[in-house]
Amino acid sequence: EVKVYPGMERPLPPVSVPVQVMNYQPTPQMRLHAAYGGMTGPWPSPVELPVLAPPQVLPSVRVPPNQSDLTVAMPQSLLHRMDGVVSSLERELSEDVHVTSNERDDNLRSVLELNDEAMREIKALRRRERQFQDEFMQVRDALEVSEQQVTASRVRIADLEREVENLQQADQAKSQRVSDAETRIAELQRELTAVCAAEEAGARQVAADKNQISDMSRELASARIAEEAGSRQAAADRAHIERLEWELSNLRNAEESTIKQSSSDRHRIVELESRLTEISASEARLSHSAKVASDMASKQLDMLERDLADARAQHSTLRQGANDYESTIRDREQRLFVLQQQLTEEQRSSALVRIEFDSLKSEVERAEKHKQEAIRNHDGQLERAKVEWQQRLDQAAEREGRLTADLEALRAKVAREQEHFTSQLDDQRSSIDQQVRFQMEEKLRSQTEQMRLDFEQLHQQQQLDHQRQLQEQQEELQQHFEANERHQQKLKEQEAIQQELQSRHDLQLQQLRDLREEALQEKHFREETLREKHVLEEQLRHQHVRDEQLREEQVREQQLRHQHV
């Protein structure tokens, strides 16, 4: 049958259309290409049809379907109209493809910007990790310094304990010297009692002589001579007794001076023990003050050694005076003068020691205050570091959450845009396919077998172009997928870094807790040692008190014996 189309001057006879053209369907590669952005190059130009001669009047004859060497005459206006429609559709499709490519580039650019921001965040986290490591190293160095100071203080405490032991030994030597002096005094008392007994015997002898003088008048002259001799002997004995009493008083004065010296030494020992407790309490004292204290302690030890040498010299002089009474009486006056000078020197040294003790006490108080301030500052720094670290970790977690949310939103946006573009391209492609099919049917009805061959060649060329474009698009998709994989890998690395930072943070917190527990244990140990020292000091004080009481009782007994004698 003859069909008449708009714009045609006369109806066209029916023509046979090839089956492959009538059943034309887009390939999956073409659909995928349209779904992922369309063609990157320009749309293929429309087929240029040869200019046909003006149509001739042909009879209305049905053409056999198998006849292929027929020519179809089409009006030029219809061809121009079809070309205009195809070119407009091509322009619209190229504009849509350009818009989709621009949007895709914007999306890729935003993804790259997000990747750059994530890399910057990772670098910032690494810098913070290095800062935390530096802070941890500083804290560990400070702890090592404090441990060194503690060891130095322990060494100083051991030295002071040895010094206390030496002083105790010196005190024992002095007590031994006092006991020797007491034995010497007892010997002198025994000699005094012997002299008194001799005096009494002389008095009895004088009485017997007087009786003999009254009985024997013949021996009056001899009795008078004997009486004068007895009186002279009595005067000599009285002078000797007075000398012995004076010597006894000197010995008592010497004993009192030695007792005073021993009491001053005990006071010095107590002061040194108090200094020991105060120095043991100040563990973080500076090295300079420790050296000064050690020098002062060495000076005091030297002074004590000199005192011990003087005491030994005094003991030797006392022993020599026991052997020779007359030389002792002459030498004791000089010794009393020397002892007075030594007493004045000892008073000066005690004043100097008190001054040094006051200065050391002030230094110890300052060191204790400095230690407490350093401990408070260190605790404050630790608390501030913990708070700052927790804030940084919270900020990093928030930023990681924001990055994850942005990435998920970007993925959802890309998926929505892909679905939207796919639906639009499918709709456009279906409409274009329908229009092209209609136009192709119209053209193929008006063309010959040569046009069919040209169309087949063109179709093959289009397929090759589509395959090439599809390969390019697949390469772009592969690059995009690789970029996504790299981004995923970076996110995984960031998560691994975050986990590592968290593990390091936990490890550092555990180390800080362990260090704090060790410090508390060390503090408890020091408190126990201080308590033990206080107990030992109390025991020493009680022992000194008992010794003093025993000495006082011995002195009282000796006084009672002397009074009794």
What pLDDT was estimated at residue 142?
74
Q: What share of the chain is helix, strand, coil (3-state, %, to 5)?
A: 85, 0, 15
Please give the structure tokens belonging to residue 470.
Answer: 């599809």
Task: Examine the pLDDT at 4 and tell me if it is beyond 60.
Answer: no
The band of 324, judged by pLDDT with boundaries at 50, 70 and 90, is: low
Q: What is the mean pLDDT of residues 120-139?
A: 78
Alpha carbon distance 454, 441 (integer Å):
15
What pLDDT was estimated at residue 195?
65
Please give the structure tokens belonging to residue 364.
Answer: 């110890």
Q: What pTM does this model have?
A: 0.22
Element containing residue 434 per DSSP (H, E): helix 325-445
Asked if 315 and 180 count as a contact pair (C-beta separation under 8 A), the reply is: yes
What pLDDT was estimated at residue 147?
73
Please give the structure tokens belonging to residue 352.
Answer: 């100097």
Q: What is the mean pLDDT of residues 345-366?
A: 74
Residue 510 neighbours by CB under 8 Å, 6+ apart: none
* Burial class (CB within 10 angstroms; exposed 0-12, middle 13-18, buried 19+) of 408: exposed
What pLDDT was estimated at residue 541?
85
Q: What is the mean pLDDT of residues 436-444?
A: 69
| Other CB atoms within 10 Å distance of the CB of residue 154 | 14
- 7 φ/ψ sector (left φ>0, alpha ψ -120 to 50, else beta): left
What pLDDT was estimated at residue 270?
67
Which residue type does 469 have?
Answer: Q
pLDDT tens string 403-418: 777 777 777 776 777 6
Alpha carbon distance 247, 244 (integer Å):
5
Angstrom distances, CA of residue 135 to CA of 131, 337, 384: 6, 68, 12
Task: Examine the pLDDT at 344 and tell me if it is beyond 70.
Answer: yes
- In the chain, the percentage of residues whose pLDDT exceeds 90 is 0
CA angle 460, 466, 467 (to 5 degrees): 90
Q: What is the mean pLDDT of residues 7-13?
A: 45
Average pLDDT, the chain: 70
Alpha carbon distance 227, 235 (integer Å):
12
Residue 1, helix vs strand vs coil = coil
Alpha carbon distance 56, 60 (integer Å):
12
* Eight-class DSSP state of 44: P
What pLDDT was estimated at residue 289?
59
User: Which of residues 273 and 489 earns the better pLDDT score?
Assistant: 489
What is 381-396 written as a DSSP string? HHHHHHHHHHHHHHHH
Which residue type does 209 have?
Answer: D
CA angle 257, 261, 262 (to 5 degrees): 120
What pLDDT was estimated at residue 39?
43
Asked if 321 and 332 count as a contact pair (C-beta separation under 8 A), the reply is: yes
Task: Examine the pLDDT at 196 and tell me if it is beyond 50.
Answer: yes
Alpha carbon distance 392, 398 (integer Å):
10
Alpha carbon distance 460, 440 (integer Å):
16
Least trusted range by pLDDT, from 161-170, 286-295, 340-349: 286-295
Residue 542 neighbours by CB under 8 Å, 6+ apart: none
